[in-house]
């Protein structure tokens, strides 16, 4: 494997990781901002109030995004296996 091929594999791995993680992280970020805004308006300073909604939205988002995530990861695995077979 040449250096450019290794860079291509690394770039593909990073893009795949971003595709897998970004939707869940962005939704958790949005919920965290909404809860923080709510806390600032009501002056409620409860730590579990921020943790529980983010945990629940991450779980629900992961469940709904699972087919997309599986397809993305399967495509990445197939590309890696094709590289192994071809050379």
Task: State pLDDT tens for residues 21-39.
Answer: 999 999 999 999 999 999 8
What integer best gives the mean pLDDT of the chain?
92
Residue 1: per-residue pLDDT = 75
Residue 3: per-residue pLDDT = 86
CB neighbours of 44 closer than 8 A, spacing ≥ 6?
38
Question: What mean pLDDT do residues 72-84 have?
Answer: 95
What are the structural domain ranges in the chain? 3-86
Question: What mean pLDDT do residues 60-71 have?
Answer: 96
pLDDT band at 45 (very low <50, low <70, confident <90, very high): confident
Decide: 86 and 8 in contact? Cβ < 8 Å.
no
């Amino acid at each position: 494997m040449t250096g450019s091929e290794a860079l291509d594999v690394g770039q593909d791995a990073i893009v795949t990781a971003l595709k897998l993680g970004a939707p869940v992280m962005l939704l958790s970020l949005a919920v965290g901002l909404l809860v923080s805004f709510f806390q600032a308006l009501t002056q409620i300073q409860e730590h579990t109030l921020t943790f529980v909604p983010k945990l629940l939205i991450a779980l629900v988002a992961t469940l709904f995004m699972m087919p997309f995530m599986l397809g993305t990861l399967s495509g990445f695995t197939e590309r890696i296996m094709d590289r192994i077979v071809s050379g």
